[in-house]
Structure 1
């Protein structure tokens, strides 16, 4: 049994609890703790979690990297920084080995096979679908002046219907409510497992393991049934939805098709990533626009002319302040130096958009909401802003998500004014960043 004694001792960082290190602080206020760590210790910060010494299961160092140059190293050198990290191992237990969680040659084959499905031209085919669902949101509300709504509930349903229709076609009315109920439960269970100091095998019949198994079995049953129904129709690839395209997809180098298990895992990744992050990003952006009516009116006016540039900039600024993927984990596979600090092999390394998006060197007055930051020529380093990750593992659905958010925001602002000036937004870092409760807003008809 090996012992780890502060492997990143040369990296500055807070001391924390004498017995548990930074574990209590990170559990109680993860976002506040890592932001304070940056302000107090700089661009590379070490957090010791667990006992002062002992096996890695109960004692470990985590290094956070916040400068764009260091983030570039972490995200673009997969041979040094792998996804052999606990967050991805836990997601793998829940949603299999899809594009988000797979590694090595398996991931490379998947990326080659799936990339043609997400070109701007292919994604552009979903604009009409997105516009239909945005119109459904706007029309279904039938609001009168002064109506109070939960923006998060609104965006969750929109995002799930868009990704559901994109994947499965129009016959989704019985599927969407079940998936919308399951996804937050999955996220909460995954977070609870991530925070366990000692992770018992899921094969052990603990109450939590049984609940995880039940949720996983239910989501697999839903997706497997849809796949089986599609397979029964001439092999499954005759439809123009994404599921049909997954059946038809081939690795351009080998000609190999995806297996049924591969397709199921990809569907689960698309449902999780395409639903959770998009709905939260939209709700956060709408809340911010509701607190800044003068900005909102400029965005609405430009959108009304058919120009979506400022709408897109508002979405990007919303994700700067409230990035749905607030942190990303990697594991160092060899010793490496970042910003002058030695990071030993087998150290968990985290890059956090939540912090870097507030780095005052690249974002003057970082807490101010200003979509103008994303208009015109931008002189910032590439990794001063990375809500969709970066490098070879960047999010394959970035264009889809931005388009989806822009379409709904344009449609909503054309009909309603959003007012959140009396509301407070509280967020919680789960698998993704989520509102802690309702995102209340008063909507008035224009």
Structure 2
């Protein structure tokens, strides 16, 4: 079922009475608010919360759309728990369709989204995750054996290369070296998509011009290999014995080739940069905290997966890779004491929740122990993967991958920062990455 787009609540549809009933917010011009949001949201939102409270309104391009930002877990639970018919996510992600495809779960809503999600779920739960683990561990060990030692390097770049290899071999299931050699540069170019490319979702004619035309050529080359791989996989009789996501998807659902292609590209774009960045932030923190590093190394030696996973979780808390998510209301919606009109964009601010001292004592400290023991962090207070029916299906895969990477590297190396001061967060596309790429030095453990 295809749903009709919901009109945005913006400067064209917002009347004065409705404007007075919205949560308070800055009166800056829309263009200024959009510019600050685009480059400084992690610094701007905390200041807005301090001034206006836990719920506030900003106005953003296009059209001065009304965005209500939420920062309290109970309010965000209301949003995440709302019906898929009442709050849409896919409508706000339409710009991604030019890259991910029209069948991506990120651009679908209601029944279409639930149908695709239901078919994806078996490939990312339970026994399926266990089946991927050995290959992820093997790739992590190969990276650990080949990182620079004794000289500074950017760990974020190494993590991006590793997570790309995981996508190619564990998700796509490509292991032939000749095919991998062809795919690596092409897929790398797809991953490094400039946000301007995504404008083609709204203006298809842009595909006639560079750089859109060049990007489309790269897409076609990647698609040709993916469709060839899909066709070859469909002919195999041993899918149940294969430990890759594509084979699991073929067993778990009824897909067209185009639908499968869109799922694979979505997994590539959603699962590559985010996991690599989370790992870079984890090493950034370990490099500056010798006592935490020693405990993490002990955990790696003892296969104490719970502690290694807690390191990854605390890195995602302190440095949320995605600072906020969005929903669009298809009818009036009640939250935080406000009745918000149809078309309002609701924006749960992950970064504000994770930095709240009422939820996390000494929130700027890196303490993996928060996620261990008899009183761990409540699930509603830790939301780097979103929540509800839109929670990232790859969350378990990402944490498993992070655990294996931490184990492989921490068993071998001590980690030190090139500079003692923390690296600032830098916004790249939609992710907040270490400003100097996690500039560290590895030395063999004594």
Q: TM-score, normalised by structure 1?
A: 0.87
Secondary structure at 1:442 match in 2:
strand
* 1:79-129 alpha-carbon deviations (Å, 9 max, x no partner): 32111443x101122111222322222222222222111122110111110
Distance between the aligned counterparts of 1:149 and 1:324, measured in 2?
Answer: 21
**How far is the alpha carbon of 1:401 from its aligned partner?**
0.8
CA contact (8 A) 1:286 1:418 kept: yes
The aligned counterpart of 1:23 is 34
**Bigger mean CA deviation after superposition, 416-425 or 354-363:** 416-425
CA contact (8 A) 2:191 2:269 kept: no
Secondary structure at 1:433 match in 2:
strand
CA contact (8 A) 2:320 2:432 kept: yes
Does residue 151 in structure 1 map to residue 126 in structure 2? no
| CA shift in 2, pair 1:15/1:21, >3 Å | farther
Does residue 140 in structure 1 map to residue 160 in structure 2? no
Corresponding residue pairs, total:
425
**How far is the alpha carbon of 1:340 from its aligned partner?**
1.1
**How far is the alpha carbon of 1:438 from its aligned partner?**
2.6
Does residue 407 in structure 1 map to residue 414 in structure 2? no
The aligned counterpart of 2:337 is 340
CA contact (8 A) 1:290 1:441 kept: yes
Question: Which residue, 267, 270, 279 being the options, matches 1:270?
Answer: 267
CA contact (8 A) 2:325 2:349 kept: yes
Any residues of structure 2 matched to 1:33-432 within 5 Å, and which? 33-49=44-60, 57-77=62-82, 78-86=84-92, 88-96=93-101, 97-141=103-147, 143-144=148-149, 146-167=150-171, 168-171=173-176, 173-186=180-193, 188-189=195-196, 193=199, 201-204=203-206, 205=208, 207=210, 209-231=212-234, 239-250=242-253, 257-378=254-375, 380-420=377-417, 422=419, 424-426=422-424, 427-432=426-431
| CA shift in 2, pair 1:147/1:26, >3 Å | same
The aligned counterpart of 2:3 is none
Distance between the aligned counterparts of 1:380 and 1:238, measured in 2?
Answer: 37
The aligned counterpart of 1:13 is 25
Secondary structure at 1:147 match in 2:
coil
* 1:25-77 alpha-carbon deviations (Å, 9 max, x no partner): 22341221122212222211100235xxxxxx422211111110111111121
CA contact (8 A) 2:136 2:170 kept: no
| CA shift in 2, pair 1:132/1:225, >3 Å | same
* 1:297-318 alpha-carbon deviations (Å, 9 max, x no partner): 1111122122122111111000
Secondary structure at 2:427 match in 1:
strand
CA contact (8 A) 1:85 1:348 kept: no
Secondary structure at 2:369 match in 1:
helix
Question: Which residue, 3, 7, 10 being the options, matches 2:13?
Answer: 3
Query: RMSD of the alignment, in Å?
Result: 2.6
Residue ranges of structure 2 left out of the alignment (5+ in a row): 1-6
Distance between the aligned counterparts of 2:418 and 2:237, measured in 1?
Answer: 55
* 1:235-270 alpha-carbon deviations (Å, 9 max, x no partner): 9888442222222223xxxxxx11111111111111
**How far is the alpha carbon of 1:149 from its aligned partner?**
2.0
Distance between the aligned counterparts of 1:217 and 1:435, measured in 2?
Answer: 32
| CA shift in 2, pair 1:187/1:128, >3 Å | farther
**How far is the alpha carbon of 1:407 from its aligned partner?**
0.6
